[in-house]
Structure 1
Amino acid sequence: MPDITSIAYCGPAAVPDDLLARWNLDPVLLAGLAALAVALAGGRSAHARAGWGALALMVVIFVSPLCALSSALFSARVLHHVLLIAAVAPLLALAFPLRRLPSPPLSLLVGLQGVVLWVWHMPIPYEWGLATVPTYWLMQISLLGSAFLLWRAVLAPAIPAGPALVALVGTVAQMGLLAALIVFAPRALYEVHVASTQAWGMSPLADQQLAGLLMWVPASLPYLGVGLWLAWSSLRPAEPAA
């Protein structure tokens, strides 16, 4: 079983007594967040509020004690991933739509996000992704990047509501299937968190089941919300041309 102190980023697994003091002040990370803040303050985003919202959430994910908690609990790690792909990614897609860059077909983007999500939540790749700083950031960037590309396409004005809705439903379906497999697994699969769950009064299996529920319900809400908005928008009569 891997030692929990082998988690390369966010440090050793947090315990209740030291959680509130476990802020991540990595200078490279802070410089990247500061660069994003400068871009937003300079008016380089298409939707400033969305950009600032994404920045605030990235501070919660990577700087706040949630980072150290995600070293201890698989459920906290999944919450981290849910916020990254279902909240930060769509906000960044609104703030930086990059309309001049071509967008791959929606079916390809749905498949890409599905593959990335499933691969990083398989036990061996998951533990590999926490073993070194480069693999940790490979995990984060690939999750965020694939989600950003999908949200950018779904939210693009040129995409008809029908294909966008199908993409959202397909994404929720594959995410729900992965979550169900995690919830109903007969044993704890993520050994890197087994020792640290005891400090939080949880069994490894209960921690894993909570993680699956977080991926099953809260993660789907932004996709369902945007889907309902797209469906409602498509039903409204077009405004007459002036």
Structure 2
Amino acid sequence: MEGGRIFGVNQPVPYCGPAPLPSQVWGAWNLDPFALAVVVALTMLSALSLHRHRIWIATAVFAVSTLLLISPLCALTTALFSVRVTHHFILMTVLAPLLTTVFRTRSAVSSRLPPEMAFIFHTLIFWFWHIPPGYAFALNGMIPYWIMQAGLLASAIWLWAILLSPRTSVFTAVALALATVAQMGMLAAILTLSRAPLFAAHLDTTQAFGLEPLQDQQLAGVIMWTVGLLPYLIVALIRLYRGVASRDGKGSWQW
């Protein structure tokens, strides 16, 4: 699908198409050649970069990227902000860690720049695309949409490369994971506690799904506040556990 204009009116069409009605969702597959090419490229690179016994990771990359870019989930993000947030968290907490493993970026990235830079970059990218001006820009056709997807994915891969790298100290990994939880929690609080809808694009798209715009926005905040943050909390707990388990004979931790 490509961005365009609706009936000659100066209104951009989002890349995933106009907001569908519930009866139209299951037929709203995105067969844009560029999206198909991205899925094929990610899958082939994953398959070529992994040993045969880890081909399941390439299969997972194919399944997740298809879900995000080809399936009706893409069209549903145009209707519901809560689905857009869910889409982004699948991108950042499922696809990004998979690709981090595939491309073996952990040691390469973590050794070049201060790890805090990954957190700062990811935070800026995440907030930009989830505040009204940035969000409105992302709905202006194909190019803004792919800039958003690429920015979120690249920044998430960088952050996960730091969090998962054995070269990152336990203290740094846990601190960055918890800082990510904190900054996302702040945005989630704004979305959940706001008394008015913040995103004009969804003022007329949610009612067909039984949600008022404010309810949809609050649901997005709850999703962000709960399941969206779980992967970062889990990796913080795992790194902390491994840090405790790696104590040397003197009882000190390998921080």
- CA–CA distance in 2 between the matches of 1:117 and 1:82? 10
**Equivalence for 1:95:** 102
Task: Go from structure 1 to structure 2 and tell me whether the alpha carbon gap of 1:129 and 1:16 turns closer, same or farther (over 3 Å shift).
Answer: same
Identity over aligned residues, as a percent? 37
**Equivalence for 1:32:** 38
Q: What secondary structure, in the 3-state scheme, does the structure 2 residue paired with 1:17 have?
A: helix
1:78 and 2:63 correspond? no
Choose the corresponding residue for 2:167, options 129, 151, 158: 158
Matched letter for residue 69 of structure 1: L
- Alpha-carbon offset, residue 52 of structure 1: 3.0
Task: Go from structure 1 to structure 2 and tell me whether the alpha carbon gap of 1:153 and 1:103 turns closer, same or farther (over 3 Å shift).
Answer: farther
Matched letter for residue 234 of structure 2: G
Matched letter for residue 29 of structure 2: W
1:22 and 2:31 correspond? no
Matched letter for residue 241 of structure 2: W
The answer to whether the 8 A contact 2:170-2:243 is kept is: yes
1:127 and 2:133 correspond? no
- Alpha-carbon offset, residue 239 of structure 1: 9.6
The answer to whether the 8 A contact 2:46-2:99 is kept is: no
The answer to whether the 8 A contact 2:47-2:58 is kept is: no
- CA–CA distance in 2 between the matches of 1:206 and 1:83? 21
Query: 47-56 vs 204-213, which deviates more?
Result: 47-56
Gaps of 5+ in 2: 1-5, 250-255
1:109 and 2:118 correspond? yes
**Equivalence for 1:45:** 50
**Equivalence for 2:14:** 8
Gaps of 5+ in 1: none
1:64 and 2:74 correspond? no
- CA–CA distance in 1 between the matches of 2:102 and 2:25? 32
CA-based RMSD? 2.0
- Alpha-carbon offset, residue 126 of structure 1: 0.5
Moved over 6 A (4+): none
Query: 101-110 vs 134-143, which deviates more?
Result: 101-110
Q: What secondary structure, in the 3-state scheme, does the structure 1 residue paired with 2:166 have?
A: coil
Q: What secondary structure, in the 3-state scheme, does the structure 2 residue paired with 1:57 have?
A: helix
Q: Aligned residues, how many?
A: 237
Question: What TM-score do the two structures reach when normalised by structure 1?
Answer: 0.91
Task: Go from structure 1 to structure 2 and tell me whether the alpha carbon gap of 1:113 and 1:94 turns closer, same or farther (over 3 Å shift).
Answer: same
Choose the corresponding residue for 2:149, options 140, 145, 148: 140
- CA–CA distance in 1 between the matches of 2:164 and 2:67? 25
1:194 and 2:199 correspond? no
| Structure with the larger RCO, 1 or 2 (CA within 8 Å, 6+ apart) | 1
Q: Per-residue CA shift, 1:35-80, capped at 9, x if unaligned? A: 22222333x1375433432331111111111101001011111111
The answer to whether the 8 A contact 1:79-1:214 is kept is: yes
- CA–CA distance in 1 between the matches of 2:13 and 2:194? 24
Matched letter for residue 91 of structure 2: L
Matched letter for residue 63 of structure 2: A
Q: Per-residue CA shift, 1:116-154, capped at 9, x if unaligned? A: 111111101101111121111111111111111010111
Q: Per-residue CA shift, 1:152-181, capped at 9, x if unaligned? A: 111111111111000000000000001100
The answer to whether the 8 A contact 2:43-2:61 is kept is: no
- CA–CA distance in 2 between the matches of 1:88 and 1:38? 15
Q: Per-residue CA shift, 1:186-216, capped at 9, x if unaligned? A: 1001010111111111100000000111111
